[in-house]
Structure 1
Amino acid sequence: MKVDLKKQITAYSAPRGEFAVVDVPPLQYLMVDGHGDPNTSPAYREAVTSIYPVAYTLKSASKRELDRDYTVTPLEALWWAEDMSAFTTARDKSSWNWTLLLLVPDWLGSDDVERARSAVARSRAPALDRIRLERLDEGRCVQTLHVGPYDDEGPALRAMHHDAIPALGLRMTGRHHEIYLSDARRTDPARLRTLLRQPVTDAEP
């Protein structure tokens, strides 16, 4: 039976128009780091076109060798900048840093990922050497569902950062996390569904 990881992990859903507090378990991901505007950066395009071949090769090996099949989850990314207003007000994408993520089930490890990397031709994955397996422990987070174009996320993020999180007696920690539940290649921008997540901790007294 094929496992759908995002359906098994309750933190992979959130209400629209509300800010929910969730506890995200430690999870492992394929990761690729980069910097710059995702719409124009060659590094971003290389990262996207590289992480998927490795992910699908890893999935195929798991099904073939371990008899454990699973669904490759939607693309995710961590985003940060020296000035976080680059996300909420100025939307200065040239200053953004990012880490692309694809979830990997816990029954696979670094040796499996290395074999998958070795099986993928460099011509298919120009950023192959930049891909790694790493565990992310976000813990308590505040999140919401944004429906619409990515460039319209600013008001929701401002409300999360400046209103919802302080009102809950929390403060931001860690990096802004987005989970792209829709395939942007096949979805009208007005219908894109994106999970916006921010790790938090207790506000200092």
Structure 2
Amino acid sequence: MAFDYKKEYKEYYAPAKKPAIVQIPRMNFVAVRGKGNPNEEDGEYKKALNLLYGIAFTIKMSYKGTHEIKGFFDYVVPPLEGFWWQENVIGVDYEHKETFQWISLIRLPDFVTKDDFDWAVQEATQKKKIDFSKVEFFTYEEGMCVQCMHIGSYDDEPATVKLMEKYAEEQGYEIDINDERFHHEIYLSDARKCAPEKRKTILRHPIKHIK
């Protein structure tokens, strides 16, 4: 049976509908940076998703070809994630999605090295005849965070964020979003197929101890 990160690491991918504190370790990702409204038809964000999944599945299916990845095991491709921010905005301004800047990500298994990643980019470029130059091997250690499962539309996230902020303060923390730590979303539902009111999205914010 394929290794499923969502099932094996429930503390990261299956939080409760109430906030909790979690320590997020160092992870590697396939990532694409961009800006603009993610809902724009044929926009930069949707093009980025094609690039992400192109590399993610090239690596997943590598065992069927000639490239051998040391330590490889069969796995389910982890869910899509995103870091989001806006210049000169504290928190998130959902009324002006055109000002979003983002890093869209998919987690890579720990056995995937930078050399394996570079091979996947070359392989996908040759097979799909697509420019993958925007894709990067991204390593990130998120550290201490508050997170919560959000059920519903992305536009309704502020209510869940308020609960997270309140809980963090009660535990002696404050939100620590800055130029290196971001508003983080992990998408457990396919927005193309799931009704907005039923979407499951993990919301995660970095925190620090209140001085």
Task: Compute the TM-score of the two structures, normalised by the length of structure 2.
Answer: 0.87
| 1:10-29 pair list within 5 angstroms | 10-16=11-17, 18-29=18-29
Displacement, 1:75? 0.5
Task: Compute the TM-score of the two structures, normalised by the length of structure 1.
Answer: 0.89
- Report the residue type matching 1:172 in the other structure: I
Displacement, 1:73? 1.0
CA–CA distance in 2 between the matches of 1:24 and 1:97? Answer: 22
Instruction: Indicate conservation of the 8 Å contact 1:79/1:99, yes or no.
Output: yes
1:164 correspondence with 2:171: no
The one of 117, 131, 140 aligned to 1:113: 117
Cα–Cα, structure 1 residues 85 and 118, in superposed 2: closer, same or farther, change >3 Å?
same
Moved >6 Å (runs of 4+) = none
Displacement, 1:199? 1.2
Coordinate RMSD, CA, aligned: 2.0
1:59 correspondence with 2:65: no
CA–CA distance in 1 between the matches of 2:125 and 2:114? Answer: 19
- Report the residue type matching 1:83 in the other structure: V
Q: Which runs of 5+ in 2 are unaligned?
A: none
- Report the residue type matching 1:11 in the other structure: Y
Displacement, 1:171? 1.6
Displacement, 1:33? 0.6
Displacement, 1:166? 2.0
Cα–Cα, structure 1 residues 126 and 202, in superposed 2: closer, same or farther, change >3 Å?
farther
1:43 correspondence with 2:54: no
- Report the residue type matching 1:49 in the other structure: N
**Number of residue pairs aligned between Structure 1 and Structure 2:** 200
- Report the residue type matching 2:146 in the other structure: V
Displacement, 1:125? 7.5
CA–CA distance in 2 between the matches of 1:42 and 1:185? Answer: 15
| 1:108-187 pair list within 5 angstroms | 108-121=112-125, 124=128, 128-161=132-165, 163-173=166-176, 174-187=181-194
Identity among equivalent positions (%) equals 32
Instruction: Indicate conservation of the 8 Å contact 1:76/1:101, yes or no.
Output: yes
Cα–Cα, structure 1 residues 172 and 53, in superposed 2: closer, same or farther, change >3 Å?
same
Q: Which runs of 5+ in 1 are unaligned?
A: none
1:78 correspondence with 2:79: no
- Report the residue type matching 1:20 in the other structure: A
- SS of the aligned residue for 1:128 comes to coil
- Report the residue type matching 1:69 in the other structure: D
